[in-house]
Amino acid sequence: MSRVGKKPVVIPAGVTASVEGQTIAVKGGKGELCFLAPDEVSVTFADNKIKVDPRLASKRARAMWGLTRAMVSNIVAGVSKGFEKKLEITGVGYKASVQGKNLQLSLGYSHDVQFPIPDGIAIITPKPTEIMISGIDRQKVGQVAAEIRALRPPEPYKGKGVRYANEFIFRKEGKKK
C-alpha cells in the first residue's frame, strides 16, 4: 500500500490544473508543465485537489501510484515556487562565470570548459566559486547540476572539485613516508 499515493495533491492559490484522461496540465506564475500518467493509475481532479488511485492491485500499479503522486506534487511545486540547486567549487584557480548562454568553468584542465545552459534553466554565479541552478522542472534542475558536478567530481584527498552545497566529502589520509 502506497503511503505517498494516498495523500491528495492540494493546488495552491494562483495555480490552475486540469486533468484530461491521463494528462495532467498545471499552470502557475512561473510557467506551465504537464505530465502523462501511466495507465496503471487513475487521476481525478475535484475540490482543488488532484487524487491518484491505482486501477489494479498489482505491484507495478502500486509503484506507479506513488510515482504519479510524487510527479504531480513536483510539477505543482515547480510552477508555484520553482526548484533550486547550489553547487560549490573548491580548488586553487577553480572558478565559474556565466557568459551569454554558456557557463564557463575553470577546473584545473588545460582549457576552460564551456557548458551550454539548456532551455528552462537559469544559472547564476553570485561568487566565482558558487553556482546557483534554478528552474521549474525538478528533474531538469537535478540533471544539469549532476552534469556540472561530473565535469570535476570532488576528490577525497584535498577535496578539490565541484560539489553540492550540502554534500559531505569523506577525506582520506595521504600515504606515509
Give pLDDT tens digits for 39-66: 999 999 989 999 999 999 899 999 999 9
- Residue 169 inside a domain? The answer is no
Cell of 167: 554534500
Full-model pTM: 0.88
DSSP 55: S
Domain check: are 36 and 99 in the same one? no
The closest of 122, 147, 146 to 136, measured between CA atoms, is 122
Evaluate whether residue 33 is within a structural domain: yes
Q: What cell was used for 55?
A: 486501477
Given 62, 80, 98, the domain boundary residue is 80
Average pLDDT, the chain: 92
Q: What is the CATH number of the domain that holds 25?
A: 3.90.930.12
Same domain assignment for residues 91 and 147:
yes
- Which domain does 38 fall in, by range? 3-80
Same-domain status, 92 and 51: no
Residue 176 lies in a domain: no
Residue 94 lies in a domain: yes
Match 586553487 to its residue by C-alpha cell: 92
What is the C-alpha to C-alpha distance for residues 173 and 169, in angstroms, rounded to an integer? Answer: 13
Domain co-membership, 72 together with 39: yes
Is 174 within the bounds of a domain?
no
| Each residue's pLDDT tens digit, 118-138 | 999 999 999 999 999 999 999
pLDDT tens digits, one per residue of 3-53:
888 899 999 999 999 999 899 999 999 999 999 999 999 999 989 999 999
Final residue of a structural domain among 80, 101, 130: 80
Distance from C-alpha of 129 to C-alpha of 162, rounded to nearest angstrom: 9
For residue 86, give the H/E element and its range.
Answer: strand 83-90
Last residue of one domain, picked from the residues 80, 101, 132: 80
